[in-house]
Structure 1
Amino acid sequence: MKSVKVCKTLLQGCVGWVLLCALTVESAISATMDISASFRPDPSKPHENKFTNDTPMSGHCALQPEFCKEQGLFSLLVPIEFQSITPILAGHADRRKGAMFKVPADWRRLTISRVDGRAETSEVEVRIVSIGGRYILPDTAQNLVGEGEPTNVQGWHTRLWGDWTWAPPAPCQPTGGMYTQPNSRTFFWMTPTASECAMTANYRIPSLTYDQMQIGYELRTPDPLHMSSGIFTGNLTYHVGPGMDFDMGDIMHPSDSTLTLSFTLNVEHTLKVDIPPGGNKVVLEPAGGWQNWLQHGRKPVRLYRDQVFNISASSRFKMQIDCEIPGLYDCMIRDPVSQRAVLVELNVTLPDGLTDLAGVPVKRRRLIRVGQEEQQKYQALNYVNNRPGILHFEVASEYMDYMLQPGVAARYTGNIVVIWDSEI
């Protein structure tokens, strides 16, 4: 750290948020999917305080990006398959004995924590809003249904399930963009509720497989402006199987018993302070200059200087001062000849968009050397980009008689270090 005379700025960049994720299979009984998102302030959109989902698309949204963008959802291929353990009987009365789907469409909350071990947490919410994949028959749909109309690939599948065309059973909702093969069909359905979507088979199906399974999800991420820079991680585990979070009925059993969504959020905040050229040398003077004192012996009311600085900030930060000549709370300046010293009170005014932690605008807020830490912490209500603030330096009126004596020259100097710190 380099000190500068009277006023020094410590420029410290804030690390932003990123949510990082990747698709992995951990073991035979647990599947893990990584989901990533990030926040970096955008000067062109200062009021947009949202994370960007950086997770690579796979599955339906990779093929139908415009649809997913309109719906605000993301899809991921899931490393889990389902295999029937018994045949599906024609006209089965029990919904759970056939093709049934139930997903955790309710919002689930998880806690994310900083990876560096610092005691800061936040919360993410996620819900599953669609389910998809491909079902595979042991034979062609034509051979399973035999004679009858209609006599085309889609028609044979429709006859097999009875009115199960491109539209899924309620309450699931269609998305389109599916394809059909003689012994398989893809599907991707919206799941607005956590209710069952089930269809009865019209013909006996000896066995059934679901592969290329995928989910669509929505995220609620925290306000990044209320978080520190850094990387935050957390996991949310769903149980998979009959009667579990992902429930495909009693006869369709999964290859893995759990599905874990592993979140990594990376926040890259901005905190930058610029002092104009020459602004590191602050000269305290009376209002109107020294002429009244030099020519008429009229002592000034006070000595002061307002020093402008420009600040860019997107997160919480604190301000501190360090002193070459410390007083009890403030810094001091001293005349090296007489060894007389006086206190310099320092206040700060921050631009609109930056407040204290209670949301109160910062106007001439006092900065002190020790104590009152919470009163010297500030936050960004939105991204503030290169806006002016003011450092108010002042020697109060009670020191004028002490400092100024007719016919006696004095020069008071001292270094004050002003620190803007994102690590709070």
Structure 2
Amino acid sequence: MDKIRITSQLSALLLTGGFTVSAGAVSVDLTAVFRPDPAKPMHNEFKNTTPQGGYCKDHPAYCADGIFSIALPIRFRSIAPILPEHAERQGAMFRTPSYWKEVTVIHDGTGKAETVKMRVNGIGAAYTIKEPLPGGVWDASWVNAPAPCNYGGVGYGSAYYYAFFWRVPANAGSCAKRAYQPIPETLGFAYQDVGFSYELVTPDPLKMSTGTYRGVMNYTVGPQQDFDMGDVMLPDDDLINLNFTLTVEHTLKVDIPPGGDRVELVPEGGWQSWLAQGRKPTRLFRDQTFNISSSTRFKMHLECNIPGLFDCMIRDPVSQRAAVVQLSISLPNGLTDTNGQPVKRRPLHVGHVNAQTFNPAFYVERAPGILHFEIAPYYVNYMLKPGEASKYSGSFTVVWDSDIG
């Protein structure tokens, strides 16, 4: 949570103050982090921080940016012979969850839910066998993927061990190799070093709160399950638990330039017309600049030692006359209201219940904004009395609060 409080002592002639800122199951952890990058303010996406395993770890050159793989400690063994010209499910068949599947991740503190989408886009393993197979058992080398799967890039091994990897298009269904000669059960045909590659679609981090989100996605393994290798090749585990952890590390920082904690409310052109000619000013005002860095939603409201109905006030300690100071804010490009509209001279009011919410369209890094202080003509006329000296002051606190939930 980020909460920035900017406190000012206000005066009609001087503002002073300070600013403070199941059966067998396999579990795999998947992690992703969002941390705003000043060098890439428009790149507002999670970074997958899950260590590469399996194919992409062994052959990174074949995994483009955004492709990740997981190694699974699951072994598949044949429980029956594979016969020549077999039906698809009676041989070497691979059907993966190449469709998009959703998992809900929950914020540790607030309980707010977000959705992550995932699909498997590649499958790999190494088949092993106790004795070499004769030539012509398969229609082609296992480096060549059967349709609808696609070539994965690498195949290697020996007569006893052959590693392969196939790309899997979305909603591909099954990819199967057909044997043209028998493979007896006694040869112990098996798959080991199983792994898959995947794609993730993560939520918009700019709409998420700082903190950690967690969730679990389950994939079943076995005949007619999510990972289905047919009716002959059975797994030694039947469940994959994917433990998702998404970490959001937002930035919310406001910098006031040196001297910005002392603000004088003055008329247009200064006080000379009033002092020399007795001409009352129509308004008193001051624009105070600041720089803001933000990758998160935030609320803003006022706190003050002399609160009015909606606005803060200043008071002359001698006459006890008080005046309302209207405070509004202009935010830089990239920070909008909840309707996506630019923020120009948006009024700020007293109290949490009157807080305004602002959203980043992209990461804003040290962009300039303005706090507009103004006393309306009615109060200016009320404050200034010929021949009567007065000094109005008050304490304002401007609160930036990212604890939205």
Determine the structure 1 residue equivalent to 2:68.
74
Determine the structure 2 residue equivalent to 1:55.
50
- Contact kept in structure 2, 1:333 and 1:414, CA below 8 Å: yes
Determine the structure 1 residue equivalent to 2:147.
170
Structure with greater strand share of residues: 2
Q: 1:54 to 1:223 in 2, by over 3 A?
A: same
Q: What does residue range 298-377 of structure 1 map to in structure 2 within 5 Å?
A: 298-370=279-351, 373=354, 376-377=356-357
- Contact kept in structure 2, 1:356 and 1:377, CA below 8 Å: yes
Q: What does residue range 237-252 of structure 1 map to in structure 2 within 5 Å?
A: 237-252=218-233
Answering whether residue 160 of structure 2 is matched by residue 183 of structure 1, we say yes
Answering whether residue 396 of structure 2 is matched by residue 401 of structure 1, we say no
Determine the structure 1 residue equivalent to 2:124.
132
Deviation at 1:128, TM superposition (A): 0.1
Deviation at 1:3, TM superposition (A): 4.8
In 2: Cα distance, 1:418 partner to 1:240 partner: 56
Q: 1:9 to 1:257 in 2, by over 3 A?
A: farther
In 2: Cα distance, 1:174 partner to 1:241 partner: 24
Q: Give per-residue Cα distances to partners, 1:249-300, cap 9 Å, x unaligned.
A: 0111111111121111111111110001111122111111111111111111
Answering whether residue 93 of structure 2 is matched by residue 100 of structure 1, we say yes
Determine the structure 2 residue equivalent to 1:259.
240
**TM (normalized to structure 1)?**
0.88
In terms of mean alpha carbon deviation, does 363-372 or 411-420 score higher? 363-372
Answering whether residue 38 of structure 2 is matched by residue 5 of structure 1, we say no
Q: 1:279 to 1:110 in 2, by over 3 A?
A: same
Determine the structure 1 residue equivalent to 2:172.
194
Please give the secondary structure, in 2, of the residue aligned with 1:225.
helix
Please give the secondary structure, in 1, of the residue aligned with 2:120.
strand
In terms of mean alpha carbon deviation, does 254-263 or 346-355 score higher? 254-263
Over aligned residues, Cα RMSD in angstroms? 1.7
Determine the structure 2 residue equivalent to 1:31.
26
Determine the structure 1 residue equivalent to 2:358.
378
Please give the secondary structure, in 2, of the residue aligned with 1:253.
strand
**TM (normalized to structure 2)?**
0.92
Determine the structure 2 residue equivalent to 1:151.
none
Q: 1:125 to 1:8 in 2, by over 3 A?
A: farther
Determine the structure 2 residue equivalent to 1:64.
59
In 2: Cα distance, 1:196 partner to 1:227 partner: 37
- Contact kept in structure 1, 2:7 and 2:398, CA below 8 Å: no
Deviation at 1:386, TM superposition (A): 0.5
Please give the secondary structure, in 1, of the residue aligned with 2:124.
strand
In 2: Cα distance, 1:210 partner to 1:165 partner: 13
Deviation at 1:138, TM superposition (A): 2.6
Q: Give per-residue Cα distances to partners, 1:329-381, cap 9 Å, x unaligned.
A: 1111111111111111100000111101110000000000036646x110111
In 2: Cα distance, 1:8 partner to 1:84 partner: 75
Answering whether residue 41 of structure 2 is matched by residue 46 of structure 1, we say yes
Percent of matched pairs sharing the same residue:
48
**Amino acid in the other structure paired with 1:106:** Y
**Amino acid in the other structure paired with 1:407:** G
In 1: Cα distance, 2:203 partner to 2:291 partner: 28
Answering whether residue 266 of structure 2 is matched by residue 285 of structure 1, we say yes
Q: 1:400 to 1:390 in 2, by over 3 A?
A: same
- Contact kept in structure 2, 1:10 and 1:420, CA below 8 Å: no
In 1: Cα distance, 2:105 partner to 2:19 partner: 33
In 2: Cα distance, 1:176 partner to 1:360 partner: 48
Deviation at 1:10, TM superposition (A): 4.8
- Contact kept in structure 1, 2:219 and 2:241, CA below 8 Å: yes
Deviation at 1:4, TM superposition (A): 4.8
**Amino acid in the other structure paired with 2:269:** G
- Contact kept in structure 2, 1:9 and 1:419, CA below 8 Å: no
Q: 1:175 to 1:61 in 2, by over 3 A?
A: same
In terms of mean alpha carbon deviation, does 358-367 or 199-208 score higher? 199-208
Deviation at 1:415, TM superposition (A): 0.7
Deviation at 1:401, TM superposition (A): 2.3
Of 198, 216, 231 in structure 2, the residue corresponding to residue 235 of structure 1 is 216
Determine the structure 1 residue equivalent to 2:78.
84
Q: 1:82 to 1:165 in 2, by over 3 A?
A: closer
**Structure 1 alignment gaps of length 5 or more:** 12-26, 146-155
**Structure 2 alignment gaps of length 5 or more:** 11-16
Deviation at 1:310, TM superposition (A): 0.5
- Contact kept in structure 1, 2:283 and 2:377, CA below 8 Å: yes
